[in-house]
Every structure is written in C-alpha cells, then in structure tokens.
Amino acid sequence: MAGGDKGPTGPDLSKGVPTGDLPDGAMLAGHIGDDEVLLVRKSGTLYALSAHCTHYHGPLADGLLVGATVRCPWHHAHFSLETGEAIAAPALSPLSCWHVEERDGKVFVKSKKVAATPKTAGSANEHIVIVGGGAAGFAAAEMLRRRGFAGRITMLSNDEAAPVDRPNLSKDYLAGSAPEDWVPLRGDDWYAENKIDLKLKTDVASLDAKSKELTLGDRSKIKFDKLLLATGAEPVRLDIPGVNQPHVHTLRSLADCRAIIEQAKAAKRVVVIGASFIGLETAAALRARDIEVHVVAPEKRPLERVFGPQLGDFIRALHEEHGVNFHLENSITAIEGKRAVLKNGGTIDADVVVIGVGVRPRIALAEKAGLAIDKGVSVNEHMETSASGIYAAGDIARWPDAISGERIRVEHWVVAERQGQAAALNMMGVPTPFRSAPFFWSQHYDVPINYVGHAEKWDSIDIEGDVMKRDCVVRYKRGGRILAVASIYRDKESLEAGVAMERAAAKA
C-alpha cells in the first residue's frame, strides 16, 4: 500500500503557482524541497499540508474536501486543513502544515508551521482505565493524550503484543510484503513517553460497575473513575474432530499470524475454512507465498451475504485467476492429521489449516457486570453503556447508528478506532456523539474494495460501471433509499457516498 517513493513531483511551491491554478475548492500537489505538499483553497482560505495520508500514504489530492477537512481516498481518514490533525481514524498522526502567502498573482508556500502543544485538560487525579489493546482501546488512549488529558491512563490487554495494525495481519504482513516494523501501531517507547501504563498479558476477570473496580486474572484490583471496554471479538472455533492440532489456526492476534507464517514457510498446501473476509484475504496472502490454497465454505458465492451476487462472483473469479481452488456448498467435517475431510466425502491434504468462519464479540465481562446487552454491549451515541462512566467501543458495541436509524454492531477497524476516539473525548467531558458512516475496506491481491454504510438486507442493487473490469460503484437500496455503497477504484464516489449519508442523517 505504501507509495510515493519516487521523490517529490509537481511544481516547486516555494517558487509560487499562478493564483488562477487554484480556484476555490481546488487541490494542487507539489513540493517544497523533498516534502510533497498539497496546496488547497477552501472557502477562500489557502492551506498547505503534507500531500500523503499518515495511514498508508494515500494521495490526498485524490480525496475530498469536506468543510474544513480533507478526506483520504483510500480509507476515509479526515484531516483538519487548519492544523493537519488526523481528526478521524484510521490515520492517527497529523499532517505537517506550511505557511502560505498570496501576492502578485501567485501563491507561495513558505516555512513549515510548528505544531501547537495541546492544553492540558481534566484533573491529574482522574484515572481512566481501558480494557483492550486493540483498535478502539489504542485510539482512545492516543486521543486522550493528544487532547491533553492530564490524568492517569491504564491500558489492560490480555494479548502478549502491544496494539498492532490488525488488518495487516491478513494482508501484507501475512503475504511477506510488509516488514515486521509496520505492524505495531506505535513503538514500545511511545507508551512510557505518553504516560500510558500498558499492561500486557493481563486478563481482566470481572468488573464491579457500582464500586468502579476491576478484578484481574491474578485477583489484584484496579479502581477507575471512567472505564472503556474495548475487548473486541474472538474467532469462532469449529466443533469438529482434529481442530486442536498445532497446524490448525485461527487468525486474530500477531501471535496467530506469526504461527501461520512460520508453518507456511514449509507448507505446500493450505486449506482455508470459510470464505469470509479473513479467510479470503488469508488465501490471497498465502498465494503470494506461492502456496496451493483450497477454500472450503458452505455458501454458493463468497461474500454474497455482504456484497450481493455480482461482487460475490467477481471475488470468486479474482481468486480463481490467482489459482485459489474453491470447494463451495461444502464444509469440513474432520481434520484427520493432515487430511481435511469434506462433507461430500472428498479429502484435501493440507500442511496448514486456517479457520475463518467469523468472530464472536467478547461481551462476557460486560454481561457478568450487569450492563445492558443486546447481542453486543448496548451504548448510547456517546458510547456510554447503561452504567454511568463506563463506555464501550469497537466490535463489542451496539450503538444507535445515525445513518440507518437502527441499532447496529459491526466489526470494522475504522469504526472501532473512531468509536474509541469518540469515547475518549466523552470521557474527557467533551460531548462527542458518534455519527460517522460505517466504513470498511478489504484487499484481495491488487484489488481494494471499499464499503460505506450498512446494509444487512436490501431489495435492489444498482451497479454503475463494470464489476468484472474492477471499476464500479455498487449501491445497496431498500425502498429506494441507499443503505450502503461498495466500490472498486471509485474512491471519490465512495467518499461522496459517506458524506451524503452523514449529511442526510444530520438533517433527519
């Protein structure tokens, strides 16, 4: 995904560009020395910012200007034009900003601005505890410190690794095309530098919502003033004989991924059980390692339930083009040593088996504590649970979605991070409703699929462009209303769809 290694392109902005090249609403990419810089005129004001997104280096000039923000075309991060702040995930680090001057019919980019230090906020005596070191938990901790939260932050995670870029575990890192140092969301020093007490391999056993106290696996207790539950989801394990063998894996953590990579080094053939996002991304990543891959799944078409038949057929064809063997409308009934037994009586010899049949939200902690549960932890639009001062975010949270008007729970990286960010601000006393259009992306070989909105059921699908040619916008509608939009290489339309959904929800 990284790009932009060819050196700076476009005009030298220190020498100025004609005013006429920059009408209102225009974005122009150029450079200052080695820095690639985006020059923007929005509502009469000129801005100069880094030209590439701080997430995976998306080209912001291909994005969208919305209010006082620029939105990244690849995974919809929002940056403030004024300060460069990454206001909405998945980008977390700010863009650099430069001073701009307009004179004698030209626009000049001048020196780099010095980033402002945040004012401290809240009481130094306050203690916020975050349970979970994943997308939502990390984004919350980062936002608390970014906005100057003065109190203590403790992050408890039963994972052995500090927060990682989980989506990478089924993509570039698994494929062997991303180095290990891409995987952590921040280096180990960052936590101490930011006074975040990160306790890894720490299981939270129970929560007493009334006395605001957690009991850890070793029976020690931790008191909190505010709490964020961000315990995510765990992969569903299949109840079939042979599933507990060392070459049978699920994929959630860095340790899971490392174990698959280790065995993949000597593997000739892999069986992936489940044509889910994780199953199929795993298939693509292992094909990049030149391993024979067989995908076994009960459905007729991969991902049809989410994307409909046209994209389902496309995804199947794409994987077949890359050599994946599908065994659809079938399942694995047993794994006898290295032999996977199919329901239809066939067998496939496999050195490694990866199970990708979905996940279950980890809600036991909240449930046992008596918090309101509705196939997830119920929260209001400020991500607060039924217990005052206790928040939930990410894969476990069921929230009132402003876009669909329904209470939904999704398993998307960007949603988890943004909910963590909203929860952080609410915990700091800055009222912040979570009203983003749900967004996820999935990557299969060189084909990214973006999806905005939420459609569990639809009555019609409109397709603009050509799915098989990898150039399309697919709209899922119910009663004529667009619920969700999937797209391939139509980033602008995807961004515009998200903005239209958010605007419609704001008016409703």
Ligand X SMILES: Cc1cc2nc3c(=O)[nH]c(=O)nc-3n(C[C@H](O)[C@H](O)[C@H](O)COP(=O)(O)OP(=O)(O)OC[C@H]3O[C@@H](n4cnc5c(N)ncnc54)[C@H](O)[C@@H]3O)c2cc1C
Q: Which parts of this chain interact with ligand FES (CB under 6 A)? A: 53, 55-56, 58, 72, 74-75, 77, 90-91
Nearer to ligand X, 169 or 467 (CB): 169
Question: What span, in angstroms and rounded, lies between the C-alpha atoms of 293 and 300?
Answer: 18
User: Which of ligand FES, ligand X, none is residue 416 near (CB under 5 to 8 Å by kind)?
Assistant: ligand X
Closest approach of Cβ 490 to ligand FES, in Å? 16
User: Which of ligand FES, ligand X, none is residue 348 near (CB under 5 to 8 Å by kind)?
Assistant: none
Closest approach of Cβ 13 to ligand X, in Å? 34
Nearer to ligand FES, 75 or 454 (CB): 75
If DSSP codes are grouped into helix, strand and coil, which group holds residue 228?
A: strand
Continuous segment of H or E residues that includes residue 95:
none
Residue 254, both tokens: 């860095």
User: Which of ligand FES, ligand X, none is residue 411 near (CB under 5 to 8 Å by kind)?
Assistant: ligand X
User: Which of ligand FES, ligand X, none is residue 149 near (CB under 5 to 8 Å by kind)?
Assistant: none
> Which residues neighbour 486 within 8 Å (Cβ) at sequence distance 6 or greater?
307, 311, 449, 450, 451, 473, 474, 476
> Which residues neighbour 35 within 8 Å (Cβ) at sequence distance 6 or greater?
8, 50, 96, 112
Nearer to ligand FES, 91 or 130 (CB): 91
Residue with tokens 């994946």: 324
User: Which of ligand FES, ligand X, none is residue 74 near (CB under 5 to 8 Å by kind)?
Assistant: ligand FES
Closest approach of Cβ 53 to ligand FES, in Å? 3
Residue with tokens 């059921």: 457
Closest approach of Cβ 195 to ligand X, in Å? 20
Closest approach of Cβ 27 to ligand FES, in Å? 15
Nearer to ligand X, 13 or 383 (CB): 383
Nearer to ligand FES, 287 or 418 (CB): 418
Residue with tokens 């005013």: 19
Spell 109-140 as b/e; 16+ CB within 10 A means b: beeeeeeeeeeeebeeebbbbbbbbbbbbbbb
Question: What span, in angstroms and rounded, lies between the C-alpha atoms of 59 and 38?
Answer: 9
Closest approach of Cβ 22 to ligand X, in Å? 35
Nearer to ligand X, 50 or 202 (CB): 202
Closest approach of Cβ 303 to ligand X, in Å? 13
Interface ranges with ligand X (CB under 6 A):
131-137, 156-159, 166-167, 169-170, 203-204, 230-233, 251-252, 278, 362, 365, 394-395, 411-414, 416, 440-442
Peptide bond into 179 cis (omega under 30): no
Residue 264, both tokens: 């993949």
Nearer to ligand FES, 149 or 441 (CB): 441
The pair phi, psi for residue 134, each rounded to 5°, is -120, -150
The pair phi, psi for residue 277, each rounded to 5°, is -55, -50
Closest approach of Cβ 160 to ligand X, in Å? 9
User: Which of ligand FES, ligand X, none is residue 77 near (CB under 5 to 8 Å by kind)?
Assistant: ligand FES
Q: Computed from CA positions of residues 87, 90, 96, 102, in that sequence, does the dihedral angle turn out positive or negative?
A: negative
Question: What span, in angstroms and rounded, lies between the C-alpha atoms of 132 and 138?
Answer: 8
Question: What span, in angstroms and rounded, lies between the C-alpha atoms of 23 and 364?
Answer: 55
Question: What span, in angstroms and rounded, lies between the C-alpha atoms of 86 and 76?
Answer: 11
Closest approach of Cβ 389 to ligand FES, in Å? 32
**Residue at shortest CB range from ligand X:** 134
User: Which of ligand X, ligand FES, none is residue 81 near (CB under 5 to 8 Å by kind)?
Assistant: none
Nearer to ligand FES, 90 or 242 (CB): 90
Nearer to ligand X, 69 or 154 (CB): 154
User: Which of ligand FES, ligand X, none is residue 158 near (CB under 5 to 8 Å by kind)?
Assistant: ligand X
User: Which of ligand X, ligand FES, none is residue 203 near (CB under 5 to 8 Å by kind)?
Assistant: ligand X
Nearer to ligand FES, 166 or 398 (CB): 166
User: Which of ligand FES, ligand X, none is residue 133 near (CB under 5 to 8 Å by kind)?
Assistant: ligand X
Q: Computed from CA positions of residues 423, 429, 430, 435, in that sequence, does the dihedral angle turn out positive or negative?
A: positive
Q: Computed from CA positions of residues 285, 289, 291, 292, in that sequence, does the dihedral angle turn out positive or negative?
A: positive
User: Which of ligand X, ligand FES, none is residue 90 near (CB under 5 to 8 Å by kind)?
Assistant: ligand FES
User: Is the CB of residue 361 less than 8 Å from the CB of residue 233?
Assistant: yes
> Which residues neighbour 24 within 8 Å (Cβ) at sequence distance 6 or greater?
41, 42, 43, 44
Residue with tokens 């890359």: 322
Closest approach of Cβ 236 to ligand FES, in Å? 28
If DSSP codes are grouped into helix, strand and coil, which group holds residue 433?
A: coil
Question: What span, in angstroms and rounded, lies between the C-alpha atoms of 278 and 292?
Answer: 17
Closest approach of Cβ 86 to ligand X, in Å? 17
Nearer to ligand X, 322 or 338 (CB): 322
